[in-house]
Chain A
Amino acid sequence: EVQLVESGGGLVQPGGSLRLSCAASGFTFSSYWMHWVRQAPGKGLVWVSRINGDGSSISYADSVKGRFTISRDNAKNTLYLQMNSLRAEDTAVYYCGAAAGRNWFDPWGQGTLVTVSS
């Protein structure tokens, strides 16, 4: 079964850090671009970051550039998102998604909630 499972979310104070993980199974992880997408409470989907199959090409949304770092470990079939200098506006459910190249996102993980609050 093709599956993505996120973990690592939680409550963090403004200015704090958190690392999210996304464990993949059921497909050839290293062949897929991987993305992080977030959704603030009651809002729509917003793309955050993307990494290609071997980790050599990375992109970020302007809103997180310089604060978030995406990475992957193909030996562990796991995607990561290191989030530093967190702000209240980073509060959201974070989803990981797989893409066959520059394509649509499928599958998606179930999401992990990040709450930034004092």
Chain B
Amino acid sequence: EIVMTQSPATLSVSPGERATLSCRASQFVSTNLAWYQQKPGQAPRLLIYGASTRATGIPVRFSGSGSGTEFTLTINSLQSEDFAVYYCQQYNNWPPWTFGQGTKVEIK
């Protein structure tokens, strides 16, 4: 089973600043990695797939990078609606499909 590890667990950022979230896979996953955003009481929403492709309707301030085992989600100029929990997920080796434990982006 591929273990996904996200860091940090919590990121405190001021509105308008940049947030950088990391995700590491325990084995090679190529670019078969997705990022999801989840707000309290809501379902996860797809942000990024293929490690760097934004999903339909996702603002350009969200960007993904990386391949192999190291990945990054960058949120430029954080807006109030961006404060949420973010999960990475690998879909290279399955089953199981595995998620990171999440990074909470909170208002500083």
Which residues of chain A have a CB within 8 Å of any CB of chain B?
Answer: 35, 44-47, 50, 59-61, 95, 99, 102-111
Contacts and interface: CB of A to CB of B under 8 A. Distances in A.
A50 B89 CA distance: 15
B21 to A, nearest CB: 14
- The interface residues of chain B, by DSSP majority, are classed as loop
Contacts, number: 58
Contacts of A102: 91, 94
A44 B99 contact: yes
A108 B45 CA distance: 7
A44 B97 contact: no
A106 B46 contact: yes
A99 B46 CA distance: 11
Interface residues of B, number: 22
A14 B38 CA distance: 29
Interface string B88-107: 01010011111111100000
Contact of A104 (B43, B49, B96): B49
A46 B99 CA distance: 7
A108 B44 contact: yes
Q: Which of A47, A50, A99, A110 has the most CB of B within 10 A?
A: A47
28 contacts: A35-B97, A44-B101, A45-B38, A45-B44, A45-B89, A47-B97, A47-B99, A50-B94, A50-B97, A59-B94, A59-B96, A61-B96, A95-B43, A103-B49, A103-B91, A104-B34, A104-B46, A104-B49, A104-B89, A105-B34, A105-B97, A106-B55, A108-B43, A108-B44, A108-B46, A109-B43, A110-B42, A111-B43
A70 B68 CA distance: 32
Given A44-B87, A45-B87, A105-B34, A110 B94 contact: no
Contacts of B45: 108
Given A47-B99, A50-B97, A99-B91, 5 more contacts: A45-B87, A105-B44, A105-B89, A106-B46, A107-B46
